[in-house]
Structure 1
Amino acid sequence: MKSPEHIDPIFEQLFSKINPKIANSFTDEQLKAIQRGFGSQFEARHSLDIRVSVPIPGLRFYLVLFAGSERRSQQRLQNEKGRYPLFNTGNIIFLTGFSTILLSCSFIILSFVWSSLSSISTSPYATSIPWIFDKSECEYTNRTWRDEKCWDDQHSPMF
């Protein structure tokens, strides 16, 4: 194969499957045009592009999630709707499992947050006032002098 300036590895892999006799018959101009046409399919980036191999023993499994602005034509959308239906057995099983896990995790997190919030006491309790050092000043502010400290029996934890 003749070599234009820069060759995409995927393009090179697919082009290597062409009979060498035919591949060598292309001019540099033809190769560049084919590469441009091929590469234009992969130039558009998605706003969200997640590709993950899922390590399940005994299975080769992967997950891909794309999101972005819709640029496909109406005809292409109709064609793909028939080829890739949303409601098939695999999708339904996955969505059911994913929803169950998401709801369970949400419930656990919310119950944890709720229990930690409800355990915070808002009722007043006694605490010493560190900036009052004598009994007369303590009693003047309607507090209690005990153990050489000034105690406030109405201290709010929200203070």
Structure 2
Amino acid sequence: MNKPQYTASTFEQLFAEIAPEVANTFTVEQLEAIKRGFVSRGRIRHPLDIRVSVPIPGLRFYLVLLAGSERRSKLRLRSEKGLYPFWTPANILFLIGFLIILSACGYTIFSFALSSLTPISASYYPASIPWIDDKSECEYTSRVWHDGKCWDSEHSPNF
């Protein structure tokens, strides 16, 4: 029996995995029905579809994040819950790492935002200027010479 040429790559991938002795038992009508099932199913793009390979030396690692409206039936959801459990050791480690990174980023951003909102003190405090040790140089820079030191009366603590 000749196998028909199909263009649906998903169908071709599935058909290639079927043992030849089983694949040869399908009738043309059965193969056409299966092909129509694959074509009608189609792949609907998710509103959020991120697929990246993560370049970790020595590891072949990828990450997929999909999100969209739930279209699976309750029966399928129940069966997939058993096939793909959420609370696995790898998932738990990933979530802990993600939460640590998220917390560190949040703390950094919050600290930066808070420090930029804190008003700078407008108070000035007198301070001696250690590199000026001459009365004439001190007075030339509009500072006050007192007790053998040059004093700056407008020194800001934010300096």
- RMSD in angstroms over aligned alpha carbons? 2.8
Task: After TM superposition, list the pairs within 5 Å mapping 1:97-116 onto structure 2.
Answer: 97-116=97-116
C-alpha spacing 1:21/1:71, structure 2 compared with 1 (3 Å): closer
- Cα distance in 1 for partners of 2:75, 2:38 equals 21
- Whether the 8 Å CA contact 1:11–1:38 is kept in 2: the answer is yes
- Whether the 8 Å CA contact 2:10–2:38 is kept in 1: the answer is no
Aligned to 1:156: none
Task: After TM superposition, list the pairs within 5 Å mapping 1:1-80 onto structure 2.
Answer: 1-4=3-6, 7-18=7-18, 19=20, 22=23, 26-27=27-28, 30-80=30-80
Shift of 1:103: 0.9
Question: Structure 1 residues 56-65 or 36-45, which shifts more?
Answer: 36-45
C-alpha spacing 1:42/1:50, structure 2 compared with 1 (3 Å): farther
- Whether the 8 Å CA contact 1:52–1:63 is kept in 2: the answer is yes
Shift of 1:70: 1.4
C-alpha spacing 1:45/1:23, structure 2 compared with 1 (3 Å): farther
| Residue type at the aligned position of 1:48 | L
C-alpha deviations, 1:17-39, integer Å up to 9, x for none?
44299469643x54443222123
C-alpha spacing 1:100/1:11, structure 2 compared with 1 (3 Å): same
Question: Structure 1 residues 18-27 or 70-79, which shifts more?
Answer: 18-27
| Residue type at the aligned position of 2:85 | P
C-alpha deviations, 1:9-62, integer Å up to 9, x for none?
2332332344299469643x5444322212344423322221121111111111
- Cα distance in 2 for partners of 1:88, 1:22 equals 36
- Whether the 8 Å CA contact 1:2–1:24 is kept in 2: the answer is no
Gaps of 5+ in 1: 124-159
Q: Identity over the aligned pairs, expressed in percent?
A: 54
Aligned to 1:154: none
Aligned residues: 119
